[in-house]
Chains A and B, each alone.
Chain A
């Protein structure tokens, strides 16, 4: 029997992070993943991460995946790919199907970091080809470079629905609408806004009732729902789409833990009962990441590191004192992610009306996916100033602070509590470098210069679509709702490695449109 100190199931953010910690402390570690590429969901996540430096903020998910992988390999972690763990058995034995064999491995500890799977809701026609999970769309386009469809209806406005909608747009696919049965956008407002300003309508309190077609999806019918989520007759609306993407939540893929005899509980899916270090009721079996409760990759990395460190202590690779120091630091980093209105405790709450600072939330953001201009001025990132300056349309308490680090001139302050809304200094010494624009994971920072010339203002916005517009080109400026508001002239398109694929598109619009124009669209033809 091949025996290791630690066997890790799943080479995603949690599994790799745990493996790295354990290997760093001298443990012999093997990681198994059923996919041909490691990294779990990280390689599909092409957006920049939230959080702060310690959470790898503003780095794109797939780059984090590559970093973790090379770190694991450097430390001698054995990463087995195309290796399907078929079961966890008594005495910490796992069976792995790899290379045409069923191999048995034993560990002195086992960490299950198997991630999550997508939930689905049934509706008429949901078995037709063309109805797919949002994760499926992500896999198809970001891993395999194949478009899942041409025109998509997105069902679900949580972060997955929002992020995948944006990725569909980036892949050159039309998004007909984002719908959600809930009365409010579920995900981050900034994710919603970057989709809404491209012209994608948000239809809250709407549900999918039918996928049309006989051989494949040819359309979708949605309807308004009442407060009990029942469709209201007569409110049906048809969309011409060839794809319906379902982003209605995730469930932990915790079967292996249940199979291993770990005590499970129902907490938004079946999850293992864990102690503070991620150990299950079966001594020596740990769990980390989404399999232990749905969060996101940033917390998965931390729960993975906590488990890896705790396993090292348990097996004699880390003394009590060092462990307790490292554990405290990791736990604090995790709790910094768990603050604010999107904290795990607040999940699903619809009764929050104001930010931590006591500022009333934008109701338009929650209902339409974008902020109304009139609501903006009450937020600390939005100041009126002479000359070029940042306008930060960040209005919810999201754990994130790269903007603060991005500005070398101290124009932007978040403070030590990273869920605080960013503040723009009253008399900022903004040079218009645009680093804040490129660093904002939510793409919520714009540079505005209302004194660009006699009659015009310049607006610099983050731009992640191909083809890039060309300087001098004339097109349309779109408002936050994605509707054309005026003509715009492209002044410049800047991109540099440090901006990591977020181009800075600067357009000139009439002065009075400086606080209205937030996206650019080339003229047809």
Chain B
């Protein structure tokens, strides 16, 4: 059973403030998240862990450092590859795609 990944009430922090609910797509599928939270947070909350597949070996990668250093969590966002999703705020209508090597599967050059 997948546990609810959002922390609704925290014993120390209380209710964690969120932006408004927005819609975006992941590889074409409709998703929800909160405006301003990192794209990666919205994806993790939705149970998505694979952000990209590497260039050489095609291996899956996801969140690693969560603060924009390691660049493991990059995806294609609004057509731009290599976007660090852990530090890029979610916006209404964003088009997020799993990155395969240097691009999304459908070439976005």
Contacts and interface: CB of A to CB of B under 8 A. Distances in A.
Interface of A: 34-36, 46, 60, 62, 117-118, 127-133, 135-137, 139-142, 144-148, 150, 170-172, 215-216, 464-466, 501
A28 B64 CA distance: 38
Nearest to B5: A147
Contacts of A466: 9-11
B7 A215 contact: no
Contacts of A130: 49, 62
A464 B38 CA distance: 27
Contact of B51 (A129, A135, A136, A137): A129
Contacts of B49: 129-130, 215-216
B63 interface: yes
Contacts of A215: 49-50, 60
B16 A145 contact: yes
Given A128-B60, A146-B45, A135 B66 contact: yes
Contact of B67 (A131, A136, A171): A136
Contacts of B38: 144
Interface of B: 2-3, 5-13, 16, 18, 36-38, 41, 44-45, 49-51, 54, 59-69, 72, 86-87, 89
Given A130-B62, A133-B65, A144-B38, 16 more contacts: A35-B67, A117-B67, A129-B50, A129-B61, A129-B62, A129-B63, A131-B64, A136-B63, A136-B66, A140-B66, A144-B37, A145-B7, A145-B13, A146-B37, A147-B5, A171-B7
Contacts of B65: 117-118, 132-133, 135-136
Contacts of A170: 10-12
Nearest to A495: B11
Contacts of B2: 150
B7 A501 contact: no
18 contacts: A36-B36, A46-B12, A127-B72, A132-B64, A132-B65, A136-B64, A136-B67, A136-B86, A140-B41, A144-B41, A145-B8, A146-B44, A147-B6, A148-B44, A148-B63, A215-B50, A216-B60, A501-B12
Contacts of A145: 6-8, 10, 13, 16, 18, 41
B52 to A, nearest CB: 10
Most buried by B among A60, A137, A145, A216: A145
Given A117-B65, A136-B67, A140-B63, A464 B11 contact: yes
A131 B63 CA distance: 8
A172 B68 CA distance: 26
Contacts of B51: 129
Contacts of A62: 13
Contact of B3 (A136, A141, A144, A150): A150
Contacts of A60: 12
Interface centre among B2, B12, B60, B87 (most CB of A within 10 A): B12
Contacts of B41: 140, 144-146
Contacts of A142: 13
A139 B60 contact: no
A301 B44 CA distance: 33
A166 to B, nearest CB: 10
A34 B12 CA distance: 26
A132 B7 contact: no
